[in-house]
Amino acid sequence: MIHIKKNQKDNLELSIYRYNSSISSYPYMKSYFFQMEKVKGKMLLDLLIQVKKKDPSFSFRMSCGQGVCGSDGMNINGRNGLSCITSVDWLIKRNKKIVIKPLTGFPILKDLIVDLSSFFNQYQKVLPYIIKDQKDIFDKRKNIQKVDSRNQLEGLYECILCACCSSSCPSFWWNEKKFLGPAAILVLYRFLLDDRDHGNDLRLRRLHDHFSVFKCHNIMNCVSFCPKKLNPNKAIRSVKIMLLKHIFKKINKKL
């Protein structure tokens, strides 16, 4: 059992962003202390669960505890990540104080819980599901994916929608309603490459504007912060090329 007690030399300090609009309109940082020998081999999520047990007013999201559900994205010592796969040993090698804040760029609902509506609104815009021609829907042969097409999805299908990338992207902070953001574009690319899908034209023609995809300025924070080690920037660059080809094709048809 990890004990939360007042600061002592050699204790680990976990400083957590706290905000509850029903009590105060001001956020504050609250520190919780752990005996160093009791945190060895733990994940950060284990410490947050201990804090929750001692201080039930503390709120955060979690579900799977193993890097699958994407619900515990947060800012850990200035970097976005998932608490369930962040080793405390790794963190304390650098500092005996760990600072936890909510994901940047989203409205804060309570403590570490942010409102991800803008993130999921943009995700919905890319139509993140297989779109089939009506005539093929019941043709089982056309639902079989080719091996090459499946292989192209490596590094794309693993996205767990944790929002760590979009939360670290300045283009998304300033244009959350117009720029799709790195996660949504990575998912878009995943469906553009799928050979079972017939929705490329439908998806791309909705994105003929300056913001949806082209607002990415290659800042690359998305690549640095993705806890699944994916590369949204590479996907964005490919989507930009596909989108440009699609735009030129439409222009040529009109000429």
Q: How many CB atoms lie within 10 A of CB 194?
A: 20
Q: Which is nearer to ligand SF4, 18 or 215 (CB)?
A: 215
210: amino acid identity, one letter: H
Is 114 a binding residue for ligand SF4 by CB under 6 A? The answer is no
Among 4, 36, 49, 64, the residue binding ligand FES under the rule CB under 6 A is 64
Is 183 a binding residue for ligand SF4 by CB under 6 A? The answer is yes
Which residues, at least 6 apart from 207, have a Cβ–Cβ distance to it below 8 Å? 180, 213, 243
- From the list ligand FES, ligand SF4, none, pick the one residue 228 interacts with, judged by a Cβ distance below 5 to 8 Å according to partner type: ligand SF4
Is 84 a binding residue for ligand SF4 by CB under 6 A? The answer is no
Among 232, 239, 242, 243, the residue binding ligand SF4 under the rule CB under 6 A is 232
Residue 121 CA to residue 251 CA, distance in Å, equals 29
Is 163 a binding residue for ligand SF4 by CB under 6 A? The answer is yes
Smallest gap from residue 113 Cβ to ligand SF4 (A): 17
Residue 184 CA to residue 249 CA, distance in Å, equals 24
Residue 192 CA to residue 212 CA, distance in Å, equals 16
Which residues, at least 6 apart from 5, have a Cβ–Cβ distance to it below 8 Å? 11, 33
Q: Which is nearer to ligand FES, 72 or 194 (CB)?
A: 72
Is 160 a binding residue for ligand SF4 by CB under 6 A? The answer is yes
Smallest gap from residue 72 Cβ to ligand FES (A): 4
Q: Which is nearer to ligand SF4, 160 or 216 (CB)?
A: 160
Is 117 a binding residue for ligand FES by CB under 6 A? The answer is no
Reading the block at residue 248, the tokens are 């030129």
Q: Which is nearer to ligand SF4, 181 or 243 (CB)?
A: 181
111-122: burial string, b at 16+ Cβ within 10 Å, e else: bbbbebebbeeb
Site for ligand FES in 73-102 (CB under 6 A): 82, 84
Number of residues that bind ligand SF4 (CB under 6 A): 14
Among 4, 36, 69, 219, the residue binding ligand FES under the rule CB under 6 A is 69
Residue 45 CA to residue 126 CA, distance in Å, equals 32
Question: CA distances (Å), 71 to each of 85, 162, 178, in order?
Answer: 12, 6, 24
Which residues, at least 6 apart from 234, have a Cβ–Cβ distance to it below 8 Å? 155
Is 65 a binding residue for ligand FES by CB under 6 A? The answer is yes
Q: Which residues sit at the interface with ligand FES, rule CB under 6 A?
A: 62-65, 67-72, 82, 84
